[in-house]
Each structure stands twice: as C-alpha cells, then as structure tokens.
Amino acid sequence: MATQIPSPPKVGMVSLGCPKALVDSERILTQLRSDGYDMSADYAGADVVLVNTCGFLDSAKEESLEAIGEAMAENGRVIVTGCMGNEADLIMKRFPDVLAVTGAHQYEDVVTAVHAAAPAARGAFVDLVPEAGLKLTPRHYSYLKISEGCNHRCSFCIIPSLRGDLVSRRPDAILREAEKLVAAGTKELLVISQDTSAYGVDIRHEPRVWNGPTGQGREVRAHMTDLAAALGELRTPEGQGVWTRLHYVYPYPHVDKVIPLMAERKITPYLDIPFQHAAPNVLKRMKRPANEAKVLQRVKSWRDICPDLTIRSTFVVGFPGETEDDFKYLLDWLEEAQLDRVGAFRFEPVEGAAANLLDGAVPEAVKEERYQRIMDVTARISAAKLQAKVGRTLPVIIDEIGEADEDGDIGATARSEADAPEIDGNVFLRNVPASLSVGDIIDAVIEDADEHDLFGVAAS
Ligand code: SF4
C-alpha cells in the first residue's frame, strides 16, 4: 500500500520592516519548509500566521500592531516575531489571544512556537526545502546578512538596545550561503548589516578557510574588504559574474580599499552610505560614527579611481538643534558631493532614543520646508546625473517582463548597477527580445532619462 502523506500544515507570513527583517523572514520560512510546512498566500488557508514586525520608528510600531490586529481578525492563530517581539507585554495586552511572541533573530523560538501551534509530519516525503531556501525576494537577487547589532549609539536610534552590540557571522558561513544562493539562481547579492564597515571587529577579523570557486582552500578574514573580494569571485552556473552591492557602509578609512574592486568590476560600483547629515554640529549631536571632515575629499578620490561609482545616502532634516545655517551647510555639501541617490526623512522621535532629551526641537513647519528644499536639490542633481547617461550602453538586470502589446513589442523593467532593488530607480526597456528571462543581465542603450529612472532598449 502506498504511504499516506498527510497534507502539511500551512503557514502564512506577513513581513514588515527593512531588508534585514526580510532576511529573517526568509530564514524562518526556509527552516519551516524543511520541517515539512507549506506556505499559504492568504489568511484563510493558513493554520497559523507569523507576523514579522518592525519596531524601529513609532510609526513602524503602529504599522506592526495594525498588521497583528488584521491577522488576528482574519485568522486568529497568530505568532509575533521580529523587533517588536521585545515588547511582548504591549502586544499581549492589546492582543491577549496571540499564541506566542518571540524577539528578533530568535529563529528557533519562532519555529518551536509554530511546531506547537500546528504540528507537522516529518520524514523524507515532506522535506521540501529548495536549494537556496524558500525566498520572499525574487530568486534573482538575495539579501546577505553579515552581522547583527551595532556598536554605535547614534542618538536617534534604538537598534543597539533592540538588537545589542555587533555580532559578526563567520566569513566562511557567509560565503557558503552566498554560494548556495548563486547556485540556486541569484544574480545579485545585497550585503546588509547595521554597520557593514565594522564587519568582523567583534571577532578580531579572525580568518576562516573557504574553498571558493577553485575548490582550493584558503583563508578569508572576517573583514569587509576580504569578504567583498571573495564574493566578487562567485560565478553563476553559466559562468557569469554576480553583482555584489554593499549597503550600510560607514566611511571608515578602509572603505578606500573596496573602491579598486569596484573599478575592476569585481563588485558592483555602488556604495550605500547613510550619512544622515553633513553639518558638524548636527553630526555631533547625532553621535554619528566616522564623522570626519574629509569625507568630501574622499568621495572625490573614490570617483577618480572608479568614475562609475554610485553613492546612495539618506539624510534627516529637522534634527533637534539643526539651525538654518546647519541646513544650508548640508545643502552646500550636497551640491559639492553630487550624490547619485538620496532619500530624505523629517526627524521623528523614537520612543527610548537619546535624541528625545535634546533641546532645540525644530517646528514641524520648518521641518517640512527643509524637507521640500532638500528634495528639490537632490532631484535636480539626480536628473542631471541620469541625463549624463543618455547615449551610453550599460549593463542592466531584468526584474520584470511585460506582455507583448498590439505591435508585438515587449517591455521590461530592469535596473542598472546604480539601482538597488526597492529603493532606487529603474531602467524601462522597450522592445526586448522574447527570449529574455527575469534575472538576465544584458547590455542596454540608454535613450532617455527623468529625475529617477532611465529609458532604453536592449543593445543589439
Ligand atoms: S550606526 Fe547608528 S543608526 Fe546605525 S544601527 Fe548603529 S546606532 Fe543605529
């Protein structure tokens, strides 16, 4: 008689917050999948719903509580995890029937809670895990988390109190995970952490043996530069190079050493550096790391070495004590730095952050006005930078392919090396070949540009 395989329990997942939380969700789902669970795309079909929360800003907390409320109303069997898991009392008070609350990165606890809520049959027949794990991001790009926590104490941030001090992963474990992802179809790796430049400081940059693509073991230090160089060696099964993007980099002196790797296209010429401000007075009150006067000079020297370098950053306006002169300093700095991609935020106090005790609160109307001014300046810079790309042939990665129109033309949404997924712009392609697939990296001729996006056609 054939072995009866009971249908596996189904887990629903709501993932809120930043890319780091998304990686956590992926890991939880990978584990559950290997434990014999199926995923449910809706509340109704789920035996239990996981809500991976974000507690970074008060507005994110509110969004998390709303998501828990919705999952409770729609399904009623809910497990809460993620950053807000540290506020179990608050959650249980508001939703006393939640099955369990676990904190950020407590994978085993979440998985144990799911096992208790919806036990799964185990065995060879239900081991469904695909090679690179079940992913919430599209298969062709993947986030690669290299450390947890942060040793800094920026006055507006509560991440160190939520997640603790820096804990770096072993370089060989990161590289093995990256190899698995690439073998399973990833073409673009997005390296993330709270402070990528500090990677390995806590483990004294201890080297570990990695076999690498040649299969010959060699030592790789737990250091951003060594890790970036090793990631740059990865090849897809077809022998194509993989894009490697560095996020959350602070401009410590050793960042200079990754720029030549970008110039040689060993890694993607892209740096995401959350500067947050430029005025020394504000940076001091923010207690920002790597707050040094020579950043502009270094940005210039990076561009001399790697002219195609894209720098993305975020800035906060209206931080307590920010004067009109500080703000003008920031605008002048931006004119000088000519950053490629900029996101701006109006300062928002976060419960528990040291910045809440600072004097000099900036009125909301002034914050708004400064926000508009910074957006105007950065949009103008972005438009000019994109315009300068018109006529060039650039490599792009395909994210989505459309349906053929009445003339048979197929359009595609792609990104250049200057565009990280979800946060930067796109390259919209017309008339792409029907043989094109999502995740392909092809050359495109850029025909037009606006403030944020490029438009073009596949190079013949
Ligand atoms: S560097 Fe600052 S803003 Fe970033 S996680 Fe650490 S404390 Fe927070």
Q: Answer yes or no: is the C-beta of 205 below 6 A from any ligand 1 atom.
A: no
Domain final residue, candidates 126, 148, 172: 126
| Domain assignment of residue 350, yes or no | yes
Q: Report whether residue 152 contacts ligand 1, using a CB cutoff of 6 Å.
A: yes
Q: Which of 216, 254, 210 is nearest to 231 (CA)?
A: 210
- Same structural domain for residues 366 and 409? no
pLDDT at site 373: 98
How far apart are the C-alpha atoms of 289 and 377, rounded to whole Å?
Answer: 25
Of 20, 148, 152, 163, the one to substitute when testing ligand 1's pocket (max ligand atoms within 8 A of C-beta) is: 152
CATH number at residue 446: 2.40.50.140
CB atoms inside a 10 Å sphere around CB 422 = 11
Ligand 1, atom 1, lies closest to the CA of 152
pLDDT tens-digit map of 276-334: 999 999 999 999 876 666 899 999 999 999 999 999 999 999 999 999 999 999 999 99
The confidence score (pLDDT) of residue 123 equals 43
**Ligand 1 touching residue 159 (CB < 6 A):** yes
Is 5 within the bounds of a domain?
no
Q: Do residues 187 and 441 touch, judged by C-beta distance below 8 A?
A: yes
Q: What pLDDT is recorded for position 44?
A: 87
Domain identity same for 53 and 94:
yes
* Residue 68 within a domain: yes
Q: Is the CB of 196 under 6 A from ligand 1?
A: no
Query: What is the token pair recorded at 316?
Result: 């906060």
Last residue within a domain, chosen from 272, 290, 313: 272
CATH number of the CATH domain containing 144: 3.30.750.210
Would you state the pLDDT for residue 142? 87
Binding residues: 18, 54, 83, 150, 154, 157
**In a domain? residue 316:** yes
Residues placed in the known binding site for [4Fe-4S] cluster: 18, 54, 83, 150, 154, 157
User: What spacing in Å lies between the alpha carbon of 98 and ligand 1's midpoint?
Assistant: 31
Q: Give every strand in the sheet of 10-15, ordered side by side.
A: 38-39, 10-15, 48-53, 78-82, 100-101
Residues 315, 326, single domain; the answer is: yes
The pLDDT value given to residue 128: 42
Are 261 and 280 in a shared domain? no
The pLDDT of residue 1: 43
CB distance 355 to ligand 1 below 6 Å = no
- The rounded distance, in Å, linking the Cα atoms of 58 and 110 is 24
Given a contact cutoff of 8 angstroms between Cβ atoms, the answer to whether 306 and 266 are in contact is no
Q: Are residues 378 and 453 in the same domain?
A: no
- pLDDT tens for 11-48 read 999 988 777 777 778 778 877 876 778 888 889 889 99
Same domain? For 326 and 442 the reply is no
Say if residue 141 is in the same domain as residue 202. yes
- End-to-end CA distance of the chain, in Å? 58
CATH of the domain at 21: 3.40.50.12160
Q: Is residue 105 part of a domain?
A: yes
Same domain, residue pair 288 and 184: no
Task: Verify that 360 and 404 share a domain, yes or no.
Answer: no
Atom from ligand 1 closest to the CA of residue 151? 6
Q: What is the dihedral of CA 385, 390, 395, 396, to 10 degrees?
A: 80
pLDDT of residue 136: 65
**Ligand 1 atom closest to the CA of 153, numbered from 1:** 7
148 CB near ligand 1 (under 6 Å): no
Q: Are residues 363 and 397 in the same domain?
A: no
- Per residue in 397-419, pLDDT tens? 999 999 888 888 999 999 999 99
CA of 303 to the centre of ligand 1 (A): 26
CA distance 58 to 54: 9
Q: Which of 91, 126, 161 is the last residue of a domain?
A: 126
Domains identified in the chain, total number: 4
Q: Is residue 9 packed enough to be buried (19+ CB in 10 Å), middle (13-18) or exposed (0-12)?
A: buried
Whether 289 is in the pocket of ligand 1, judged by its Cβ within 6 Å, is yes
Q: Give the domain range for residue 143.
A: 137-272
Q: What is the pLDDT of residue 440?
A: 96
Q: Is 402 exposed, middle or buried (0-12, 13-18, 19+ CB in 10 A)?
A: middle
Q: Is 1 part of a structural domain of the chain?
A: no
Structure tokens that stand for 310 in this block = 């894209």
| Same-domain pairing of 377 and 289 | yes
Q: Is 290 in the pocket of ligand 1 (CB under 6 A)?
A: no
**Residue ranges for the chain with pLDDT beneath 50:** 1-5, 122-131
In a domain, 335, yes or no: yes
- The reply to whether 132 falls in a domain is no
In a shared domain, residues 119 and 183:
no
* 250 Cα nearest atom in ligand 1: 1
Q: Which atom of ligand 1 is nearest to the CA of 276?
A: 3
CATH number reported for the structural domain that contains residue 324 in this entry: 3.30.750.200
